[in-house]
Amino acid sequence: MPSSPLKFCNVGNCTNRVPRGACEQHRRDKERARGTRHQRGYTNAWHRYSQQRLARYPLCVGYPAGIHKVPTMATCTDHILSARSHPELFWEPTNHRSACAACNARHAIDDEGGFGR
Ligand SMILES: [Zn+2]
Ligand SMILES: [Zn+2]
């Protein structure tokens, strides 16, 4: 009966045996740690940028446009083309607009719904 030689997972003193590299659990741990670190840096820089932009453009542009009959304060900077489908436009100023929480949420729902359609 053929059996592939198993080694210990290469993380710390882990005793899980795997054909090579790290065990399933440690691979996932590493990926999660990388993802979290990455997201945190990205969020801080974005948050700073967004606050500065909101100081210059404090009013929600509306989603859909014109939904606000009275001027409404924006609370965040929204991506016109979502950062997920157009990551290359994340920092593109012409892809940014000020939005209130409700408009931002409506836009996000449309983006999710449109994804993969
Ligand atoms: Zn392991
Ligand atoms: Zn709004």
Output the six-digit token pair for 64.
Answer: 């859909």
Q: Tell me, in angstroms, the distance from the centre of ligand 1 to residue 29's CA.
A: 9
Quick one: which ligand is closest to 65's CA? 2
pTM recorded for the entire structure:
0.61
Query: Is 66 inside a domain boundary?
Result: yes
Whether residue 57 lies inside any domain: the answer is yes
Position 22 in a domain:
yes
pLDDT tens-digit profile, the chain (117 residues): 566 789 999 988 999 999 999 999 999 888 887 766 666 666 789 999 999 999 999 999 999 999 999 999 999 999 999 888 898 999 999 999 999 999 999 998 888 765 444
- Asked whether residue 5 is assigned to any structural domain, the reply reads no
- Of 34, 75, 69, nearest in space to 51 by CA: 75
In angstroms, the CA 28 to CA 17 distance is: 16
Q: How far is the CA of 93 from the centre of ligand 2 (A)?
A: 19
The total number of structural domains in the chain stands at: 1
- Cα(68) to ligand 2 centroid in Å equals 6
For residue 15, the CA-to-ligand 1 centroid distance in Å is: 7
45: closest CA among 96, 91, 101, 87? 91
Q: Could you tell me the distance, in angstroms and rounded to a whole number, from the CA of residue 69 to the centre of ligand 2?
A: 10
- Residue 94 structural domain: 17-114
